[in-house]
Structure 1
Amino acid sequence: MKNFSIVVLLLSAIIWGCDKSSSTATSGGKQVAGRIVYVNTDTLLNQYDYYKDVVKASENKRYRLEADIANKARNFQNKVAFFQQKAQQGGLTQEQGQTAQAQLQQEEQSIMAYRDKAAQDLAKEEAKKTEDILNNIQAFLKDFNAGDKYDMVIGYSKGGGVLYAKEDLDITKSVLEGLNKKYAEDKKSGKVKADTTSAPKK
């Protein structure tokens, strides 16, 4: 999804940080020099169940919207073809023809307005979900760092601002496990509901 690719860009920057005095911390059983660690954002988003569900739900809604608009367009084209056929056969007076043409123009404008509004609503919903994903990750990282182990957690991705990072600074696995566990608990308790209804076949 184009909108959700923004998440990757945002997470490639610093996704959580606070000012603390320098010391050593432990990550994955290894001693880490300094108090800065990183999360691989590509891996995180590919395997974060909430993100996957949100993208799937958004794609399904987009498919349903496209199918709905396509159906409206087909019905409209059928009405246009019927009007043209009737007009060619002389089955309409001039006044009837003008009235029918005005109605068709109004219906066409209505379909276009519906399409534009639906697309805007979907874009707003995707933006809100993007914000929710970022907020969830940041909130989790604050809880994850309740023991005050780290000064900063950096979002790392290939081609991003961080060109190199030692593997023992990578806490992606622990963060991902924690995020997915919390999401599963939230779904079970009803705090989070993701519409993952299968998209209709085109």
Structure 2
Amino acid sequence: MKKIILSAAVVILAVACNNNSQIGTTVATTSSEAGFKTAYIDTEKLMKEYKESADFEAKYEAMSKKMQEELERDMKKFQNDVMDLQKNAQSKGMEWAVARQKELEKRERTLAEKQQNYMKKFQEEGSVERDSMVSRMKDFIKEYGKEKGYDYIYGTGDAVTVLYAKEQYNITDEIVKLLNEKYEKGSTKTEEKKEESTEIKVEETKK
């Protein structure tokens, strides 16, 4: 009997690691020339404290839990039906047992396909949303660098690009603060639009 398990936790971990790696690789550069205005970002801390990243992880953890619970329910029912077959095969006869076994084999294949489809959907949706978030972060850091007049902004984290830097050049907290403010402002606008849409629908219903 094949045991069906949704390894979503591993996927989430891989997604989180990819986040750190992508940001670190993108904003990182090197220069030993003097006279440049430089700063660095602790990308590991950025991904932990940026609220959109935290919401992303929470969303996919909840999705993974829901998928796993559904598959476990299906698997439990399947296992109960297998036990029923084993228990009643002799009393209900060979013809019933053979037909029941074929049905269960088909259900087992369906369960395996369902698991694969869930994993594919989970990974594809997570990858698209993650890439979109990372792209927005890169654009924000790029614009921030231009606005503040930086020649270079370095990135630290899993992809180590800065072996030493004075703390005065660490702009991580400021970037986290600004990104969170922008994200929260965007979330508020989205909620307001939803509320306006709901109010309009209510008014139309009254008419």
Q: TM-score, normalised by structure 2?
A: 0.77
Trace 1:14-163 onto structure 2 (pairs within 5 A).
Answer: 14-15=26-27, 33-88=35-90, 90-92=91-93, 94-147=94-147, 149-157=149-157, 160-163=160-163
| 1:176 shift after superposition | 0.8
Is 2:18 the partner of 1:6? Answer: yes
Query: Which letter maps to 2:24?
Result: S
1:13–1:155: 8 Å Cα contact kept in structure 2? yes
CA deviation vs aligned residue, 1:166-185 (integer Å, no higher than 9, x gap) = 22221112111110000001
SS at match of 2:155: strand
Residues 24, 160 of structure 2: 8 Å contact kept: yes
| Greater fraction of residues in strand | 1
Q: Tell me if the contact between 2:26 and 2:138 (Cα under 8 Å) persists in the aligned partners.
A: no
Q: Deviations over 1:7-64 (max 9, x none)?
A: 11222224277xxxx89xxxxxxxxx51332111121111100000100111111111
Separation in 1, partners of 2:77, 2:172: 51
8 A Cα contact 2:37 2:151, kept in partner: yes
Identical-pair percentage: 20
Shift >4 Å, 4+ stretches:
none
What displacement does 1:148 show? Answer: 5.8
- Give the C-alpha shift of residue 150 in structure 1: 1.4
Quick one: which amino acid aligns to residue 27 of structure 2?
I
- What SS is found at the alignment partner of 1:190? helix
Does the 8 Å CA contact 2:43/2:157 hold for their aligned counterparts? yes
Q: Distance in 2 between matches of 1:14 and 1:162?
A: 13
1:30 counterpart residue number: none
Deviations 1:72-131 (CA, angstroms, capped at 9, x unpaired): 00000111111111103x213x33222111110000100110011101111112212221
Distance 1:116 1:40 in 2: 36
TM-score (norm 1): 0.79
Q: What is the distance in 1 between the residues matched to 2:136 and 2:26?
A: 15
Q: Name stretches of at least 5 consecutive residues in structure 1 with no aligned partner.
A: 24-32, 192-202
Q: Is the 8 A contact 1:13 1:154 kept in 2?
A: no
Supply the AA of the counterpart residue of 1:108: E
Match of 1:182 in 2: 182
Higher RCO by CA contacts (8 Å cutoff, separation 6 or greater) = 1
5+ unaligned residues in a row in structure 2: which ranges?
A: 1-12, 192-207
Task: Point out the structure with the larger helix share.
Answer: 2
| Residue aligned with 2:86, SS | helix
